[in-house]
């Protein structure tokens, strides 16, 4: 049995972080699919206000992730910031469940939950610090394993939440489930994550918060982040158009959509492990480019699907490509500011924000001039442009 578990995962800091990030993913998986239902249908927010709230919350999350990441680098330990973020999650999710009003929902979604969202990058920063003396291939393996835990939480949790609440007049209990998940996460970090001595790992040269923001948006780093965001935007475009294509051009049902999401999430877990193995023999750049091309091919084929089985047949290609796009960029982005794990890991949040924004523009542009199937072609083009740009920027490097 021991041979089935790579030695890198025997590190207590890595092992606890993996379980903690599963609980982090659990909270998102149990609430994200139903957030608009609660905010708009149950609490009465307008579509415009809800859209503005989601955009503002994403902006807050990026800023907080950078600031907390930089502060954690200055302290030289990440445990304290993770505990703070987990507490914000408990309060944020709990407040919505206990006090389901428009005001509390807006306050929690805009301020409390974005701080909790920074726990994602902080956990990856903690893992990065724990793998500081490992070989690059081992670091990639660890990051892939940690990211797989988030996908694992999405395999069954959304469906189980839907089943549990199918007879309920409200989806608010989903926020209670998320609050409990945050409590478990807090306990894991507080009780089982090894305490860290910050003095040895504190950043030698402290950056002010403005300087940290400046480093993130410097041309050398930001250009590469944008290239990764163009590639990652294909995932968001697919998330928007897959249900519409399946229930439209492919003549499927809403039930098909749920089944497809579960299948792809399972395949992601499997192929994240496969890609981590491949990174032992090929560079991050080549693996990421291959994954982006595979996903672009998937979107091109999705654009011509006109039967439900066509979309089901594409799940294998989708799972292979998506696994690369959700796991490999993590290590790549961290390497851009390798000397500061907290700030480097905050680039993960920056990428999520930019890729989501780009996908919204692509969706709007695509649907304005063509069909949902045609928009899949627009998404594929975005991924290929991002891949070409990344190859141009980093192709001259011997390795990544």
CATH class of the domain whose range is 207-395? mainly alpha
314 band by pLDDT with thresholds 50, 70 and 90? very high
Predicted pLDDT of residue 6: 58
Averaged pLDDT for residues 79-95: 96
Q: State the chain's mean pLDDT as an integer.
A: 87
Q: Per residue in 239-267, pLDDT tens?
A: 888 888 888 888 888 678 778 878 888 89
Domains of the chain by residue range: 7-206, 207-395
Predicted pLDDT of residue 218: 85
Averaged pLDDT for residues 175-184: 97
Predicted pLDDT of residue 207: 64
Three-class secondary structure assignment of the chain: CHHHCCHHHHCHHHHHHHHHHHHHHHHHHHHHHHHHHHHHHHCCCCHHHHHHHHHHHHHHHHHHHHHHHHHHHHHCCCHHHHHHHHHHHHHHHHHHHHCCCHHHHHHHHHHHHHHHHCHHHHHHHHHHHHCCCCCHHHHHHHHHHHHHHHHHHHHHHHHHHHHHCCCCCCCCHHHHHHHHHHHHHHHHHHHHCCCCCHHHHCCCCCCCHHHHHHHHCCHHHHHHHHHHHHHHHHHHHHHHHHHHHHHCCCCCCHHHHHHHHHHHHHHHHHHHHHHHHHCCCCCHHHHHHHHHHHHHHHHHHHCCCCCHHHHHHCHHHHHHHHHHHHHHHHHHHHHHCCCCHHHHHHHHHHHHHHHHHHHHHHHHHHHHHCCHHHHHHHHHHHHHHHHHHHHHHHCCCCCC
Domain at 7-206: CATH architecture: Up-down Bundle (1.20)
Whether residue 83 is predicted with pLDDT greater than 70 in this model: the reply is: yes
């Amino acid at each position: 049995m021991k041979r089935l578990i790579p030695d890198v995962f025997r590190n207590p800091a890595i092992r606890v972080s993996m379980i903690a990030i599963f609980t982090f993913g659990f909270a998102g998986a149990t609430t994200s699919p139903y957030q608009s239902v609660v905010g708009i249908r149950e609490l009465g927010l307008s579509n415009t206000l809800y859209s503005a709230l989601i955009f503002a919350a994403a902006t807050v999350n990026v800023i907080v992730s950078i600031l907390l990441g930089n502060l954690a680098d200055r302290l030289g330990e990440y445990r304290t910031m993770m505990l703070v973020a987990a507490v914000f999650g408990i309060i944020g999710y709990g407040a919505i469940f206990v006090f389901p009003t428009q005001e509390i929902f807006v306050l929690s979604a805009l301020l409390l939950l974005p701080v909790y969202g920074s726990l994602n990058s902080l956990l990856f920063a903690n893992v990065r610090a724990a793998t500081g003396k490992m070989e690059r291939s081992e670091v990639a393996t660890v990051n892939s394993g940690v990211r797989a835990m988030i996908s694992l939480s999405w395999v069954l949790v959304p469906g189980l939440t839907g089943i549990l609440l199918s007879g309920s007049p409200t989806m608010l209990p989903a926020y209670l489930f998320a609050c409990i998940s945050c409590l478990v996460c807090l306990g894991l970090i507080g009780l089982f994550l090894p305490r860290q001595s910050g003095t040895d790992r504190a950043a030698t040269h402290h950056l002010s918060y403005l300087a940290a923001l400046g480093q993130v948006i410097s041309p050398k780093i930001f250009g590469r982040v944008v290239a990764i965001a163009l590639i990652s935007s294909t995932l968001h475009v697919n998330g928007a158009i897959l249900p519409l294509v399946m229930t439209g051009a492919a003549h499927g049902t809403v039930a098909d959509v749920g089944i497809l999401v579960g299948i792809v999430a399972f395949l992601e877990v499997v192929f994240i492990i496969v890609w981590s193995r491949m990174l032992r023999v090929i560079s991050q750049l080549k693996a990421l480019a291959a994954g982006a091309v595979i996903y672009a091919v998937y979107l091109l084929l999705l654009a011509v699907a006109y039967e439900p089985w066509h979309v089901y047949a594409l799940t294998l290609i989708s799972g292979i490509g998506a696994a690369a796009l959700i796991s490999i960029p993590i290590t790549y982005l961290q390497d851009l500011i390798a000397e500061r794990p907290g700030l480097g890991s905050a680039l993960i949040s920056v990428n999520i924000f930019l890729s989501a924004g780009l996908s919204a523009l692509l969706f709007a542009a695509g649907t304005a001039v063509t069909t949902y199937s045609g928009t899949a072609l627009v998404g594929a083009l975005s991924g290929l442009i991002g891949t070409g740009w990344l190859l141009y920027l980093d192709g001259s490097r011997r390795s990544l």
